[in-house]
Amino acid sequence: MSTQVTLIPGDGIGPSITDATVRVLDAAGVQLAWDRQLAGGAAVRAVEDPVPDATLESIKRTRVALKGPLETPVGEGYRSINVALRQTFDLYANVRPVMTIIPGGRYADVDIVLVRENTEGLYIGIEHYVRIGDDPRAVAESLAVITRFGSERIIRYAFEYALARGRKKVTLAHKANILKASGGLFLDVGREIAREYDGRIAFEDVIIDALAMKLVLNPERYDVIVTTNLFGDILSDLLAGLVGGLGLAPGANIGTSAAMFEAVHGTAPDIAGKGVANPSAVMLAACLMLEHLGDDERARRVRDALTATIREGRTLTRDLGGTASTDQFTDAVIARLRA
Ligand code: NAD
């Protein structure tokens, strides 16, 4: 029986780039049964809810989703899509691999996976103002909450990911020199867990500001990086910048009860419906999904066909300097797969 996967085509360019991805996976011989579900703007128009229960039920059942970009509906009464998905499925790990695909860029040899804690830290949302005299916003306070439980599971995830993917080193990024409690706990937990992997995965810890500089100077020195929520948010864009921007960046959100795979970019409303979007980031997200499902071989084949098509440079979408349509680019990837 083929594996069931929830497919959320999404908004804007979403349907065309997810269709392109499904075509490529079919051509690679991937046997998946897609359960198509709505979310985002399409869902608001159909059922007046950006995250319909039917979609959540589907993901609960399949435990795996491939998601196109979603338009965030503006207006009162709509629940936040990301919050609903993160809370329902406890998506605690945000995993963003970045690697050099386009030759001739600033760095030739970047291959880094960032593992970002996604549920705690400064993003936990415990914030308030303090009134002094007649200024109601004289002071603003935001609480950074780091738990031993949350630190253990994200750091262990990073080590297990490194082991499973044949990677060599985990770098833990922190600011424990200043944030002695929250940063200190995260670092201490990291050092404890690292001992369990001694001799199998190398470990180092680096202060976040120093790491930012080192990544720009020598990104090829880094392998898997694990860090807390806010630092991960900032580092993930820095890493994307090392390899030419967000256009080719996939992401995975891993939870205790489900995993969701998506492109990092949005719905690209300026080019939606024109058939010119670059489907690469969703295709790379689909490769992460295949690895999650244990199909490393097909993930590698699809990724190789995609990177070879881009490196060859003959059939490129407009964002990469070419003139090909989404369909033409997809056909070129499929031709490579069949070659
Ligand atoms: P965007 O990523 O959609 O677009 C930024 C620029 O990059 C645009 O010029 C766009 O044409 C281009 N671009 C993006 N993806 C492309 C692709 N695959 N091929 C070619 N060009 C591409 O960012 P935005 O304009 O700030 O956001 C538009 C909408 O997307 C908003 O509603 C936002 O909330 C939503 N969004 C959703 C997600 C998500 O669901 N994961 C992420 C980011 C933004």
The one catalytic residue in 123, 197, 319, 327 is 123
| Token output for 12 | 């804007």
How many other C-beta atoms lie within 10 A of the C-beta of residue 228? 28
The active-site residue out of 209, 237, 296, 304 is 209
Amino acid identity of residue 270, one-letter, is: D
For ligand 1, atom 35: residue with the closest CA: 266
The reply to whether 169 belongs to the active site is no
Model confidence at 73, pLDDT cuts 50, 70, 90, reads confident
> Which one is predicted more confidently, 246 or 63?
63
The pLDDT value given to residue 204:
98
Distance 182 CA to ligand 1 centre (A): 34
> Is 225 exposed, middle or buried, given 0-12, 13-18 or 19+ CB atoms closer than 10 A?
buried
Which residues are near ligand 1 (CB < 6 Å)? 13, 17, 69-72, 247, 262, 265-271, 277-278, 281, 319
Active site residue 233: yes
How far apart are the CA of 268 and the centre of ligand 1, in A? 4
> What separation, in Å, do the N-terminal and C-terminal C-alpha atoms of the chain show?
28
Which residue has the least CA distance to atom 44 on ligand 1? Answer: 266
| 8 A C-beta contact, residue 79 and residue 103 | no
Give the predicted TM-score (pTM) of the model: 0.92
Let me know if 209 is a catalytic residue.
Answer: yes
Distance from C-alpha of 37 to C-alpha of 24, rounded to nearest angstrom: 20
Question: What pLDDT was estimated at residue 247?
Answer: 78
Q: What is the pLDDT of residues 145-169, one digit of tens each?
A: 999 999 999 999 999 999 999 999 9
Protein residue closest via CA to atom 8 of ligand 1? 268
> Residues with Cβ < 8 Å from 271, sequence gap 6 or more?
13, 277, 318
Pocket test for ligand 1, best of 265, 270, 319 (most atoms within 8 A of CB): 265
User: Which atom of ligand 1 has the smallest separation from the CA of 71?
Assistant: 32
Q: Give me ligand 1 centre to Cα 131, in Å.
A: 39
The yes-or-no verdict on residue 77 having pLDDT over 70 is no
Q: By C-alpha distance, which of 35, 37, 79 is closest to 55? A: 37
Exactly one of 67, 92, 175, 222 is catalytic; which is it?
Answer: 175
Measuring from atom 23 of ligand 1, which residue has the nearest CA?
266
- Supply the pLDDT for residue 75: 67
What's the rounded Cα separation, in Å, for the pair 244 and 110? Answer: 11
- Is 123 assigned a catalytic role? yes
Mean pLDDT, the chain, as a whole number? 94
Instruction: For residue 321, give every residue at least 6 positions away whose Cβ sits within 8 Å of its Cβ, in sequence order, or none.
Output: none
Model confidence pLDDT, tens digit, residues 103-145: 777 898 999 999 999 999 998 888 999 999 999 999 999 999 9
CA of 168 to the centre of ligand 1 (A): 34
- Closest Cα to atom 11, ligand 1: which residue? 268
Instruction: Give the phi and the psi of residue 80 in degrees, each rounded to 5.
Output: -70, 130
Q: For 18-48, how does the pLDDT look when each residue is reduced to its tens digit (9 = 90+)? A: 999 999 999 999 999 999 999 999 999 999 9
